[in-house]
Amino acid sequence: MDTVPSAVRSDKPPPRRQGRPAADGAAVGKAAIIEATRQLLRNVPPAKVTRSAVARAAGIDPALIRYYFGDMTGLFTAVALAIAGSMRQRAEVALGEPGQSPAERLRGRIRVYLATFIENPHFHQLFTELILHRDSAATRALRRDLTARSFGELATLLRDAPRAKSIDPRFVYHALFGILEFFVSGRPVLEELFPADAVAAPQMQADYAEFVADLFIRGIGLADSD
């Protein structure tokens, strides 16, 4: 009677258990995927940043995005947090010198905010589409966290300025981010008002930051001598 071999040789690899994708790109961590997405968002809006586009940019298996972030909303949320975190770090460095007046601190913060918006031109669109208009526990928590942190810093700055006591910091917060963000999203308007080479020059960014700083410092009632 024929016997059945105890082990049958097969050239097929054993089935892989669920978990981290078995690909060369699996060595890429979350930070590298977030950075690749940030680079893409500097050139195209969020709607055009797909999972396959991120995978190509990061050189990974697309399944790794699902493994780390669940879906593209999870990835975009991580990117928004990373951009906001780097903005806060840059602000802390810029404002690290002791003895700065509230006006000096506001001026430095405005420079950092504007530079961040220019370097990440679709950040506001990302924040609006994925954080403001998507109702989920994760996006609500992120919205509260980002707002509380940045508003808290500005409110503290205004509280330290005696002449700003009568100013509602919530209005200042909303107006400040709006006027800085429109410098980026409203670039076609700038190009109608200024020569194209002037709009693209770094001096335009510096001049606008100083203009906005002076506008708010005078409007709030701060002074560089505070």
Tell me: the pLDDT tens digits for 28-37? 689 999 999 9
In the chain, which ranges are continuous DSSP H helix?
30-41, 51-58, 63-69, 72-94, 102-119, 123-126, 137-159, 169-185, 187-193, 196-200, 202-220
Domain with CATH 1.10.10 in the chain: 24-70
pLDDT at residue 20 greater than cutoff 60: no
Residue 64 has a pLDDT of 95
Residue 136 DSSP one-character state: S
Residue 210 has a pLDDT of 96
Q: Which CATH superfamily is domain 80-220 in?
A: Tetracycline Repressor, domain 2 (1.10.357.10)
Residue 92 has a pLDDT of 79
For 59, left (φ over 0), alpha (ψ -120 to 50), or beta? left
Domain with CATH 1.10.357.10 in the chain: 80-220
Name the CATH topology of 24-70: Arc Repressor Mutant, subunit A (1.10.10)
